[in-house]
Amino acid sequence: MADLTTIEWVRSGERCDAANDPNGNPDIFNRPNRTIYAVLANQHNDDGTHKLAEFMAVEQGSYQGDSVDGRLYSLNTSNLSPKVVIILARNTVFPVFKSIGMGSDETKELGTNAFILNEIQDMTQIGTLELGNAATVNATGTTYDYIVFGTLVAAP
């Protein structure tokens, strides 16, 4: 697989990791896709090196809120290491999301610029999400839909 600086085009005419268009101009239109690709598909090693993650996985599902702060929600894919989580309450307009680059207990609500606390509190445990008791992620009686992008890790 080419590194992120290589200009390489596929049948669709675009590639998420291409830095420029076929004429050498900056590929502004596809920049968000390249950013998502770089975050989700690259493994960042402790020594500062990067490599393409070998096993990308996506899980989607739903759960019922219970208003318990610090709730540990077990994903169906027990060996999924979350990288990006998006949650939407069925009675709200804006979903919330968290990525591995965000601090502990920091979540963003789409449509706002501020970090919000007490929503998606932690996603560092393999196969598990820790939820706060904010109504956007865990109110009693509310149904929530989620999608988790991550990598599969070997069973211990």
What's the sign of the alpha-carbon dihedral 28, 30, 36, 37? negative
Q: How far apart are CA 90 and CA 66, in angstroms?
A: 15
The pTM of the full predicted model, rounded to 2 decimals, is 0.66
pLDDT, one tens digit per residue, over 25-34 is: 555 544 544 5
Give me 46's structure tokens. 């402790």
pLDDT, one tens digit per residue, over 126-152 is: 999 999 999 999 999 999 999 998 888
Q: How far apart are CA 129 and CA 12, in angstroms?
A: 36
